[in-house]
Amino acid sequence: MRLRFLPSFVKRRGRITNNQEENLKSLPDYSISTFDDIDPDPSKFSHCCLEIGFGNAEHLYFQAMNNPEVLFIGSEVYMSGIGTLIGNIQKEKIINIKIFPDDIRILLDENKDKQIFDAVKIICPDPWPKERHHKRRLINADFLKLLHNSVKSEGNLFISTDWADYAEGIKETLEKSTYFEPSDDFFLKKEFLTKFEQRGLDEGREIFEFNFQKKN
Ligand SMILES: C[S@@+](CC[C@H](N)C(=O)[O-])C[C@H]1O[C@@H](n2cnc3c(N)ncnc32)[C@H](O)[C@@H]1O
């Protein structure tokens, strides 16, 4: 079967602990499978945000805990990260996180006319450092085209990376984009360094951040 998208991630499963395995049994209680499943009840939620590739979900979980009026959609394919997140959701009885446990491009591709996201965060997308793998990098013109359709007018797009040549590519792609423009406003600013950002710094790399918004 031909895949619609070239995989932008390295692994889906990885090593899974018994706790994560147990938590994953409850995934249907927290997951969405189509765009129509995102139905932010305006009596409960003022905004809706998407975090793509949440990894161990430390940032998603922190923002959801601290902003109960915002509905967060988290997308990840890495099953142990999803298992960890479900454990935290259950422990803290969090009701403002929904999980799309697959390639985010599948969900975005299916959406035709719902501009739902006030903000989108992509923190350290997989860097694919070897040149022959650059075509697997998530951030490219096709992806921005796919994404813009689901973002509200002036909705925020935040991307960070610790790989200088990926940063160059992201900058060029965003600057050429007809869908996004630079912004000084952040909606829910990133509050701390994630595991991957910290690892980048520890290994001597710099963190590059991009803050854009959807054009009117
Ligand atoms: C380098 S990790 C960064 C994790 C986290 N954001 C952090 O900073 O700690 C990138 C994550 O993005 C996920 N990912 C890559 N492509 C994706 C896609 N198309 N849809 C959803 N998640 C994706 C990977 O599985 C991986 O966990």
Predicted confidence at residue 13, as pLDDT, reads 75
Q: Is the CB of 78 under 6 A from ligand 1?
A: yes
- Within 10 angstroms of residue 165's Cβ, the number of other Cβ atoms is 12
Look at ligand 1, atom 4, and give the residue with the nearest C-alpha: 55
Over residues 95-106, mean pLDDT: 97
List pLDDT tens digits, range 32-62: 999 999 988 889 999 999 999 999 999 999 9
The answer on pLDDT for 78 being more than 60 is yes
Using one digit for the tens of pLDDT, what is the confidence trace for 109-154?
999 889 999 999 999 999 999 999 999 999 999 999 999 999 999 9
Q: Where are any strands of DSSP class E within 115-207?
A: 117-123, 151-161, 180-182
Ligand 1 centre to CA of 10 (Å) is 9
The pLDDT score that the predictor gives to residue 113 is 84
pLDDT of residue 2: 55
Q: What is the percent of the chain where pLDDT is above 90?
A: 89
Q: Which residues are catalytic?
A: 126
The answer to whether residue 3 scores a pLDDT higher than 80 is: no
- Helix axes 58-66 and 79-92, enclosed angle (nearest 10): 20
The answer, yes or no, to whether residue 30 has pLDDT greater than 90, is yes
Beta-carbon contacts of residue 150 (< 8 Å; ≥ 6 apart) = 35, 50, 108, 111, 114, 115, 116, 117
> Using a 6 Å cutoff on CB, does residue 76 contact ligand 1?
yes
Q: Assess whether the C-beta atom of 105 lies below 6 angstroms from ligand 1.
A: yes
Nearest CA to ligand 1 atom 15: 9
Residue 111 Cα distances to 53, 137, 197, angstroms: 19, 22, 31
Band the pLDDT of 216: cuts 50, 70, 90: confident
Which has the closest alpha carbon to 174: 149, 216, 136, 209? Answer: 209
Q: Please give the structure tokens belonging to residue 71.
A: 């509905």
The CATH number of domain 45-214 is 3.40.50.150: yes
- Measured over the CA atoms of residue 116, residue 122, residue 126 and residue 130, the dihedral's sign is positive
pTM of the model: 0.97
Ligand 1 touching residue 125 (CB < 6 A): yes
Q: Is the C-beta atom of 138 inside 6 A of ligand 1?
A: yes
Q: What is the pLDDT of residue 186?
A: 85
Which of 138, 140, 158, 190 for a ligand 1 pocket mutation test, highest count of atoms within 8 Å of Cβ? 138
Quote the pLDDT of residue 23: 98
* Mean pLDDT for the chain overall: 95
Q: Closest Cα partner for 97 from 138, 139, 143, 66?
A: 66
Q: How confident is the model at residue 64 (pLDDT cuts 50, 70, 90)?
A: very high
List strands edge to edge, sheet with 208-214. Answer: 97-100, 70-75, 47-52, 117-123, 151-161, 208-214, 180-182
- CA separation for the pair 63, 20 (Å, rounded): 21
Across 62-78, average pLDDT: 97
